[in-house]
């Protein structure tokens, strides 16, 4: 059973009710190849989705929530339950962007049938428009299996964090000619299998440029190239919330400092009894 809820904005004083925006569709995203760059950010909660949604084309419920939300050492322990819970929250907070959900490690790699079971559960329980899965040529048959059965798929090639134990770390990919050829053929195989977009992560810029030029679907870069068809970042990284960020992150905010300052001020006022003040307590009716 899945129910779609609309986020209650009646108690939100921080932002006015947004003007109604039309929901983007998966085919509309696919047509953006070579056009205005696609704007994608991760989101894990309803309120953050609400704030990002008007400015984005796509919201990704990334399995990076393992590190960012749950304090796990990698994305490997992330479960389908976690992705469904956060995916549903993000869908409730979004009105305009295409929401895509990362398939977690172990939920899709064994067979196309396993992938369909997991992905159809994600689609049904969250109301998202698409799933994303890591992998190249080896996953092409699975991508085709899902797309031909009604599940839009975003690919993810290059630095694939779920393969960190095979890759040996989170270093940039495509430094050798062999690796470049492999990543390029991976991207082509996933596009040919029917993916409507591909995330290209952590590859040297000339390779990203070549793949963007040669592959038919939009290439969304992260640590890739400004010439990609779009960009994605982890929201906590760009807001200055996450403590250790990859080199490719640009910080557009300093939320960690803002939170520390606010909490320090609160702690001081509690200790000095300056809080709660007149406006923060209930008085008996006169
Ligand atoms: N907060 C966060 N941001 C991300 O971009 C992200 C996640 N989490 N979790 C899932 C994956 C993991 N990713 C990562 C994680 C670490 C590096 C990193 O530390 N890179 C180093 C180089 C490491 C090396 O050379 O071995 C760097 O300086 O960029 C890169 C990508 C990208 N994704
Ligand atoms: C970094 C993006 C592309 C991702 O896969 C994630 O957030 O899990
Ligand atoms: Mg991911």
Sketch the domain layout of the chain as residue ranges.
26-255
Predicted confidence at residue 20, as pLDDT, reads 64
Return the beta strands (E) in the chain as ranges. Answer: 38-42, 58-61, 98-102, 130-134, 153-158, 197-201, 219-222, 230-233
Binding residues for Mg(2+): 63, 102, 134
What's residue 6's pLDDT? 56
What is the number of helices (H) and of strands (E) in the chain?
11, 8
The answer on pLDDT for 4 being more than 70 is no
Quick one: which atom of ligand 2 is closest to the CA of 60?
7
Q: Predicted confidence band at 1 (pLDDT cuts at 50, 70, 90)?
A: very low
Both tokens assigned to 148: 């031909």
Q: Is the pLDDT of residue 25 over 60?
A: yes
ipTM of model over 0.90: yes
Q: Which of 35-44, 57-66, 164-173, 239-248 has the lowest mean pLDDT?
A: 239-248
Residues flagged as binding site: 63-64, 102, 132, 134
How far is the centre of ligand 2, averaged over its atoms, from the C-alpha of 64 (Å)?
6
Question: Residues with Cβ within 6 A of ligand 1?
Answer: 64, 67-68, 75, 161, 169-171, 202, 234, 236-237, 242, 246-247
**For residue 284, is pLDDT > 90?**
yes
CA atoms within 13 A on the CB side of 245: 19
Q: Which of 41, 47, 50 is nearest to 21 (CA)?
A: 50
Mean pLDDT value of segment 161-180: 97
48: closest CA among 262, 197, 238, 251?
238
Output the pLDDT for position 18. Answer: 54
Q: What is the mean pLDDT of residues 150-175?
A: 97
The C-alpha atoms of residue 39 and residue 157 are separated, in whole angstroms, by 18
pLDDT at position 17 is: 56
Going by the annotation, the residues of the binding site for 3-methyl-2-oxobutanoate are: 63-64, 102, 132
Provide the CATH topology of domain 26-255: TIM Barrel (3.20.20)
Residue 206 predicted with pLDDT over 70: yes
Ligand 2 atom closest to the CA of 132, numbered from 1: 5
The mean pLDDT value of the chain amounts to 94
What's the average model confidence in pLDDT over 32-48?
Answer: 97
Instruction: With cut-offs at 50, 70 and 90, classify the pLDDT of residue 49.
Output: very high
What atom of ligand 2 comes closest to residue 68's alpha carbon? Answer: 7
Expressed in angstroms and rounded, the spacing between residue 31 Cα and the centre of ligand 3 is 23
Supply the residues annotated as catalytic: 201
Percent of residues, the chain, with pLDDT higher than 70: 93
What confidence score (pLDDT) does residue 2 get? 46
Residue 194 CA to residue 190 CA, distance in Å, equals: 7
* pLDDT of 52 above 60: yes
* Nearest alpha carbon, ligand 2 atom 2: 62
């Amino acid at each position: 059973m899945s129910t779609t809820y609309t986020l209650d904005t009646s108690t939100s004083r921080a932002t006015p009710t947004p003007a109604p925006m039309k929901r983007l569709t998966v085919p509309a995203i696919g047509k953006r190849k070579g056009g205005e760059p696609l704007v994608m950010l991760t989101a894990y909660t309803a309120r953050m989705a609400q704030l990002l949604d008007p400015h984005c084309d796509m919201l990704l419920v990334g399995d990076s929530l393992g590190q960012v939300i749950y304090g796990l050492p990698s994305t490997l322990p992330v479960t389908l339950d976690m992705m469904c819970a956060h995916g549903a929250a993000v869908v409730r907070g979004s009105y305009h962007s295409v929401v895509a959900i990362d398939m977690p490690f172990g939920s899709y790699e064994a067979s196309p049938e396993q992938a369909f079971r997991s992905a159809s559960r994600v689609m049904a329980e969250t109301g998202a428009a698409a799933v994303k899965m890591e992998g190249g040529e080896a996953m092409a048959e699975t991508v085709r299996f899902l797309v031909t059965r009604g599940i839009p798929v975003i690919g993810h090639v290059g630095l694939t964090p779920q393969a960190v134990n095979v890759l040996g770390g989170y270093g940039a990919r495509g430094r050798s000619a062999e690796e470049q050829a492999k990543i390029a053929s991976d991207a082509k195989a996933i596009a040919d299998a029917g993916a409507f977009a591909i995330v290209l992560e952590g590859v040297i810029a000339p390779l990203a440029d070549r793949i963007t030029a040669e592959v038919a679907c939009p290439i969304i870069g992260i640590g890739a190239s400004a010439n990609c068809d779009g960009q994605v970042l982890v929201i906590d990284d760009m807001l200055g919330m996450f403590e250790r960020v990859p080199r490719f992150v640009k910080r557009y905010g300093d939320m960690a400092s803002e939170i520390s300052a606010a909490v320090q001020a609160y702690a001081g006022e509690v200790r000095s009894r300056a809080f709660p003040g007149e406006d923060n307590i209930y008085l008996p009716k006169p």
